[in-house]
Amino acid sequence: MGLCTKGFAGVSSTVNHVLLTGGAGFIGSHVAEAVLRRGLQLSVIDSLDNFYSPTAKRANLEGVRKAGNFTFYEIDLCDFETLRKTISKARPDAIIHLAARAGVRPSIESPQLYERVNVGGTVNLLEVARQHGVKRFVFGSSSSVYGITNKVPFVEDDPCLRPISPYAATKLAGEFFCHTYAHLYEISTVCLRFFTVYGPRQRPDLAIRKFATLMEAGNAIPVFGDGFMGRDYTFVDDTVAGVLAAVDYEFPPAATPFDIFNLGNSHPVSLNELIATLESVTGRVAVRERKDLQPGDVPITWANIDKARRMLGYRPTTPLGEGLERFVRWLRSTHARRDS
d(CA 138, CA 94): 8
State the pLDDT at residue 338.
55
- Rounded distance between C-alpha atoms, residue 148 and residue 32, angstroms: 33
The pair phi, psi for residue 286, each rounded to 5°, is: -80, 130
For residues 274 and 229, the answer to whether their CB atoms sit within 8 Å is: no
- What string of pLDDT tens digits covers the 340 residues of the chain? 444 444 333 343 589 999 999 999 999 999 999 999 999 999 999 999 999 999 999 999 999 999 999 999 999 999 999 999 999 999 999 999 999 999 999 999 999 999 999 999 999 999 999 999 999 999 999 999 999 876 889 999 988 899 999 999 999 999 999 999 999 999 999 999 999 999 999 999 999 999 999 999 999 999 988 888 899 999 999 999 999 999 999 888 777 899 999 999 999 999 999 999 999 999 999 999 999 888 878 888 999 999 999 999 999 999 999 999 999 999 999 764 554 3
Q: Would you state the pLDDT for residue 4?
A: 44
Closest Cα to residue 235, out of 276, 191, 277, 272? 277
Buried b or exposed e, range 163-183, using 16+ CB within 10 angstroms: bbbbbbbbbbbbbebbbbbbe
Pairing of the two strands 230-231 and 269-270 = antiparallel
Q: pLDDT tens-digit profile of 262-291?
A: 999 999 999 999 999 999 999 999 999 999
Q: How many CB atoms lie within 10 A of CB 254?
A: 16
- d(CA 22, CA 42) in angstroms, rounded, equals 13
CA 196 to mean position of chain CA atoms: 8
CA distances from 79 to 126, 211, 232, 315 (A): 13, 36, 35, 37
Please identify which of the residues 167, 198, 233, 314 carries the catalytic annotation. 167
Q: What is the DSSP letter of 137?
A: E
pLDDT at 251: 81
Nearest Cα to Cα of residue 257 among 209, 191, 318, 302 = 191
From the number of C-beta atoms within 10 Å of its C-beta (0-12, 13-18, 19+), residue 278 rates as: buried
Residue 316, preceding bond cis, omega within 30 degrees? no
**CATH class assigned to 17-289+299-331:** alpha beta
Spatial neighbors of 185 by CB under 8 A, at least 6 apart, are 130
Residues 6 or more apart from 73 whose CB is under 8 A from it? 43, 44, 45, 46, 86, 90
User: Counting Cβ atoms within 10 Å, is residue 158 exposed (0-12), middle (13-18) or buried (19+)?
Assistant: middle
Which residues are CB-contacts of 268 (< 8 A; sequence separation ≥ 6)?
230, 231, 232, 300, 301, 302
Q: Identify whether 198 is a catalytic site residue.
A: no
* Nearest-angstrom CA–CA distance, 95 and 205: 27
| Closest of 247, 228, 258 to residue 4, by C-alpha | 258
What is the DSSP pairing of strand 94-97 with strand 197-198?
unpaired
What confidence score (pLDDT) does residue 1 get?
41
As a dihedral over the C-alpha atoms of residue 292, residue 298, residue 302, residue 308, rounded to 10 degrees, the angle is: -140
Sign of the torsion formed by the C-alpha atoms of 95, 57, 100 and 117: negative
Eight-state DSSP code of residue 100: -
